[in-house]
Chain A
Amino acid sequence: MLTMILKRLLMAIPSLIGVVIVTFLLTRALPGDPAAYFAGPAATPQAIQEVRVKLGLDKPLIVQFGHYVVDLVHGNLGTSLTTGQPVATELHNRLPASAELTLLGLIVSIVIAVPLGILAATKPNSILDHACRIVSTAGVSLPVFFTGLILVYVFYYLLGWAPAPLGRIDVFYLPPPQVTGFYLIDSLIARDGDTFIASLKQLFLPALTLAIFSLAPIARMTRASMLAVLSSDFVRTARASGLSAYTVIITYAFRNAMLPVITTLGMVFSFLLGANVLVEKVFAWPGIGSYAVEALLASDFAPVQGFVLTMAALYVALNLLIDVLYGVVDPRVRLEA
């Protein structure tokens, strides 16, 4: 197992190098001149040139790349020009916000979608099956920012049940002392029930928004994979042997149907991180998605590069995790082979 993980990590290195080169070149190819942007409204050409020299943008591309790589090796992702803070610190502060939201969204989604998929598969073409189809089609066809705005409108504006969409925690609460950066976990560590509830309330609507968006692939995949398994011989044997419906469906069928569901979960998690950008905008969530988009709009290279690199590393880790999970779920899958 350990050698497998190491091998996989080694294999990830070339792709990370590729990401570094491509993002560097892409950000340089963006339209817009950061020097003109940062020289301010009333700048003369000379002032713009001064800023360009200050930012090191007057040097040849290859020299700039060299500096970038050297910094990267030292763990320095550069400094964001728009926010004035080191990119590494910002990502470190903002990643937990995005990750907490995405994970919770995914959990909510799994809790709804998996049982829904199983039920739909056990009774194909029943009302339940159609309901599953409608829910998942509706969820995937509504853009996330739209779902988000509707939820805010109904639950915050009209009903007043949800707290103000003002980020991770009510304005008048202090965030819990940072341990993991996940407010839910940190507030539990600090044994602060109030803060836990306050941050859970803030999380609820954005997480639900993400969950609605990701219901479809999980529910559909669960259903399809369950249908295939339910029609196989061993299930028929189990049924013929008089096992209870629960044992047949959950213990035998579902465990065998889980592999494609896990693959889908990996994919869903990746695109949820992307969909996050819009949800973060709607809920004023201080995550990495909105950070990267703002940087992109200002032609601010360093955060964009840092963001893409972080995402790439995250995907590598995620894929590895899923591969490992395969082996746990289904001993027949031997990755060493």
Chain B
Amino acid sequence: MKRRDFLKSMTAVTAAAAVPAPAVWSPAKAQSRQETLLIVSESGPNNLDIHGVGTNVPGYEVSWNCYDRLISHEMKTLPNGTPYYDKEKFKPELAEDMNVGDMSATFKLRKDAVFQDGTPVTANDVKWSFDRAVTVGGFPTFQMSAGSLTKPEQFVVVDDHTFRVDFTKKDRLTVPDLAVIVPCILNSELVKKNATAQDPWGLEYTKLNTVGSGAFKVTNWTAGSQVVLERHDNWKGGPLPKLKRVIWRMVPDAGNRRALLERGDADVSYDLPNKDFSELKSDGKLAIVSTPYSNGIQYIGMNVQHPPFDNVKLRYAVAYAIPYQKIMDAVLYGLAKPMFGAPADKPTEVAWPQPHKFTTDLAKAKALLAEAGYPNGIPDPITISFDLGFAGVNEPTCVLVQESLQQIGIATTINKVPGANWRTELTKKTMPLFTNVFSGWLDYPEYFFYWCYHSGKSIFNTMDYQSPQIDAFIDGARAAAATGDKASYDKDVKDFVDLAFTDMPRIPLYQPYVNVAMQKNISGYQYWFHRRLDYRSFVKA
């Protein structure tokens, strides 16, 4: 072949190769795009099973969508139109009927429910799954115990489709605790087949495989890069989801996540920086939903066991020095609910979260500082610590606090703790001054206070606050809730809220928002207590 001929034929080949249209334009692809939801977020799961060792929060989202619980919550609508889970109302999921007695609850399972491999769901699977949750240790066991579910003996198989939970004591949180993510039902026979002697509960298997009866199953998981979920067409726990497939891509760069949304390539994203969200909101090209974290608060904590913050006057001084409004405007771009500056005459409510009465008042702060025994301020720098994993909010907050404290004469240095070490640091309970966020799955004041203020060993009592008085109020409220004694419940709740604001071991700043940005053709977003997405209700028009 001559060179010229060769070149000619090459051109022909290239032209021929270029002719077929990219597959994206073919009808089949368009169809699949229509039924596929593309989610982009910063990080993805590290484990597909919430019972696993160290499953992270994105892993909860997988569990929620791939497994069923016995019961779930009904939806209600917030004033702004967002569907929001109704903490009071339960609906059956895997159970078709729930009968709560005095010291036990009996569940009738759906007879037609099947796991994703086709085997029917029986009460034995439920018992095995619950036994697993209270036995494997770590987070799942801990969460179960929050509802007084602690021993395998509590879970009884009555017959193939009847299951009973016996209570060890009366606890208002027992039934709600059955509707959280942890008590999910696994295909016990399938897991047992893949369990080993060292790993009797098959945690290694379920880490990589979803074996539930839920609406979706994971068909491809590349850690750190993507999760692909396909619909379980035989799902019986509710109306069949409209989406056939969910592709969840990890895009570490926030700017790119925003670009993907704005270009219309991604359908949903929910962990953009507040600045982007507030700009997208005013742009109006996308649908933005902001919902306050249920039972969640970002706060400044102080270690009350060690000087200098063992001095309540000094804690007041700090509470008067925090630049609350600046934080709201410059850090959160208004996307949060203030938890400060309640009017002085406002009575305490039986509710949580509720704002405290401190505002930014540097003159008062200085006076209190002098009263606390530091007329010349505190020249030795105190460290303010924060979790680098949430640096977008934490870092500017700490800088503003540092600046403000400097003005009343308290010197500080900022200590950035890598996300991986944050829990370790919290457990030590030695950080003098820090910012952190806590939100409880169960939306009850006494639940929040039990984790955050009770003298027990909870890691979330990050201030190491010890007060027999508050313990009595919290325990009293829990007992009153279990027996339905409303009068003493209300009194106890008001008392512990008042005491928390009088002793001020932690200064609430604001209730953060969950911000979700979606294309205009996406509907069906629901807010859940776990704050992650429920794919089952999404619709792509």
Contacts and interface: CB of A to CB of B under 8 A. Distances in A.
Interface of A: 31-34, 36-45, 47-48, 50-51, 54, 80-85, 90, 93, 149, 152-153, 156-157, 160, 164-167, 170-173, 193-194, 197-198, 281-284, 286, 290-291, 294, 297-299
B22 interface: yes
Given A82-B223, A194-B22, A172 B33 contact: yes
B76 interface: no
A55 to B, nearest CB: 9
Given A51-B138, A152-B259, A284-B256, A36 B424 contact: yes
A54 B53 contact: yes
B251 A284 contact: yes
Contact of A284 (B225, B420, B427): B225
Given A93-B222, A284-B250, 12 more contacts: A43-B459, A45-B427, A47-B142, A50-B138, A81-B46, A82-B224, A83-B46, A83-B224, A165-B259, A282-B253, A283-B256, A297-B418
Contacts of B255: 149, 152-153
Interface string B22-48: 111000010011001010100000110
Contacts of B263: 156-157, 160, 164
B270 to A, nearest CB: 16
Contact of B262 (A36, A157, A171, A286): A157
Contacts of A81: 46, 53-54
A44 B137 CA distance: 10
Interface string B228-261: 0000000000000000000101111101100110
Contact of A170 (B24, B251, B259): B24
A85 B23 contact: no
A294 B45 CA distance: 12
From B47, B265, B423, name the one whose CB has the most chain A CB atoms within 10 angstroms.
B423
Contacts of A297: 418-420
Kindly list the 6 A-B residue pairs having the minimum CB-CB distance in the complex, ordered from nearest: A83-B223, A38-B54, A40-B139, A286-B225, A164-B265, A32-B421
A294 to B, nearest CB: 6
A281 B257 CA distance: 12
B142 A51 contact: no
B224 A33 contact: no
For B138, B142, B207, B250, which residue has the most chain A Cβ atoms within 10 angstroms?
A: B138
Interface in B109-158: 137-139, 142-143
Interface of B: 17, 20, 22-24, 29, 32-33, 36, 38, 40, 46-47, 52-55, 137-139, 142-143, 207-208, 222-226, 247, 249-253, 255-256, 259-260, 262-263, 265-266, 418-421, 423-424, 427, 457-460
B442 to A, nearest CB: 13
Nearest to B29: A172
A82 B260 CA distance: 27
B22 A198 contact: yes
Given A42-B143, A51-B138, A36 B423 contact: yes
B423 A41 contact: yes
A286 B224 contact: yes
Given A50-B137, A164-B265, A31 B224 contact: no
B427 to A, nearest CB: 6
A54 B250 CA distance: 29
A84 B225 contact: no
8 contacts: A50-B138, A157-B259, A167-B225, A193-B17, A193-B20, A294-B224, A297-B419, A299-B420
B256 A37 contact: no
Most buried by B among A83, A84, A171: A84
A31 B421 contact: yes
A51 B138 CA distance: 9
Given A39-B138, A170-B24, A281-B253, A32 B424 contact: yes
A284 B459 contact: no
Contact of B222 (A80, A164, A282, A286): A286
Contacts of B54: 37-40, 51, 81
A84 B224 contact: no
Contacts of B137: 47, 50
Contacts of B207: 84
A84 B47 contact: yes
B228 to A, nearest CB: 9
A178 to B, nearest CB: 13
Nearest to B224: A294
Contacts of A149: 253, 255-256
A290 B458 CA distance: 34
Given A156-B259, A194-B23, A284-B256, A172 B32 contact: yes
B260 A164 contact: yes
- Pick from B143, B260, B419, B460 the residue with the most CB of A within 10 Å: B260
A167 B260 CA distance: 13
A34 B53 CA distance: 11
Q: Name, among A45, A152, A171, the residue most crowded by chain B CB atoms within 10 Å (CB to CB).
A: A171
A171 B38 CA distance: 8
Nearest to A194: B23
Contacts of B423: 36-37, 39-41, 43
A32 B54 CA distance: 15
B96 to A, nearest CB: 32
A91 to B, nearest CB: 12
B20 A194 contact: yes
A170 B23 CA distance: 11
A173 B54 CA distance: 33
Given A47-B138, A166-B265, A193-B20, A84 B459 contact: no
Contacts of B225: 167, 284, 286
Nearest to B258: A157
Nearest to B265: A164
Given A38-B53, A41-B459, A166 B260 contact: yes
Contacts of A93: 222
A85 B251 contact: no
A151 to B, nearest CB: 11
Contacts of B266: 164
